[in-house]
Amino acid sequence: MAKAIGDDINCRKGFGFTKVRSDYGEGVVSVTVVSDDISVIIIDATFKKDFEVQLLGDSKKTIDFVFCLEGSIHHRFGAGTSYKPINFRQNTIINRGENSRSVIKIPSNVPLKISLISYRPNYDKLQSEDLYDLRLSAFNILTKVYAEENHFYSGRVCFRTSNFVSDMMKYGSQNPADILFKEAAILNTMASQIDRHDKDLSSGHDKAPIKLYEVDRILALETFINDNLTESLTLSRLELVSGLNPSKLQAGFKYLYGKTVSHYVTEKRLEKAAKLIYESDLNVSELVYSVGFTSRSYFSKIFKNHFGVLPSKCIANPELLAIN
């Protein structure tokens, strides 16, 4: 892929990247090798032409964890003729059997941020009796759970995973801390996708309770909330702004963020308050009104419940927020 669409290929131990050639588009494609059984392709680019990426198998099965942080793509198995969509922030896990082939269709003129984590089980390690390695123990179970044959799972939108993928794309490989943060983000992404998959199957909630256009409305509402935290954000006002009825609005927030609308708004206000403590000289009373609360006592109570320390103490020593 890098040779076909990329410019010079830059490599260092465990990491490589190429800039997309101008005749193909703009952006970067990178590869990170975590171990002999885990590798990651990250696409952060916009392409001028549609094209296909073929993932070739060998004598080992492969489990691909695919996540579109931005944009969407399509997938088919090599022998198939029809594509299945992998939508924006939709949890997708693809099992490739031995000697099988996966085809990813990349669209043109769509900004893409995509992670593709491939896990190829090392059966020599997994079959040994020495499973004291914590990660190896987890993958030993994982390999037994997922099917041997081709299987495509596409479940719910998962915003927790999006946070880990964002971290994965943020960290480079310039220093030991960044390398370890990047590896942690990769493993967290896998864990989050597996967790969502297992919960979907056990609860039967593999189908979204809201339609894609309703997801778009809630994403737009999220931006509105973050831009207007100082204002009155009543449920009735948010219903009016989003155009969604109360049940759809609550179902959407539970589905996307795992919390009610009011809980989400409160958390965002508290996060902004913590940021203001670091960046300003506001006292508690000024802080209360700067993030949309009206009661100082209520604000202090929920701030302590959330961060484990009173806002007045954080103002005197902002480093308490970092500790908690």
Q: Are residues 117 and 224 in the same domain?
A: no
Tally of domains within the chain: 2
Q: Among 203, 222, 245, identify where a domain stops.
A: 203
Domain that holds residue 311: 212-323
Judging by beta carbons within 10 Å of its beta carbon (0-12, 13-18, 19+), is residue 281 exposed, middle or buried? exposed
Length of the chain: 324
How many CA within 13 A on the CB side of residue 112?
31
Kindly state whether residues 223 and 166 are assigned to the same domain: no
Digit-coded pLDDT (tens) for 67-92: 999 999 999 998 777 899 998 888 89
Of residues 213 and 18, which shows the higher confidence score?
18
Q: Are residues 70 and 145 in the same domain?
A: yes
| Each residue's pLDDT tens digit, 250-285 | 998 888 787 899 999 999 999 999 999 988 999 999
pLDDT of residue 323: 47
Same domain, 266 and 120: no
Strand order across the 90-96 sheet:
6-12, 15-20, 25-33, 38-47, 112-119, 62-70, 90-96, 151-157
Which domain-ending residue is among 170, 203, 236? 203
Are residues 20 and 162 both part of a single domain? yes
3-state secondary structure 176-200: HHHHHHHHHHHHHHHHHHHHHHHHH
Same domain, 139 and 99: yes
What are the distances in angstroms from CA 63 to CA 32, 99, 155? 16, 13, 16
Greater model confidence, 5 or 274: 274
Give me the mean pLDDT over the 1-22 stretch: 77
- Residue after which a domain boundary falls, among 203, 221, 255: 203
Phi, psi of 26 (to 5 degrees): -150, 135
First to last CA, the chain: 44
Q: How far apart are CA 249 and CA 243, in angstroms?
A: 9
pLDDT digits (tens, 9 = 90+) for 113-162: 999 999 987 766 656 655 556 677 777 777 666 656 788 888 877 778 98
pLDDT tens string 307-317: 999 999 999 99
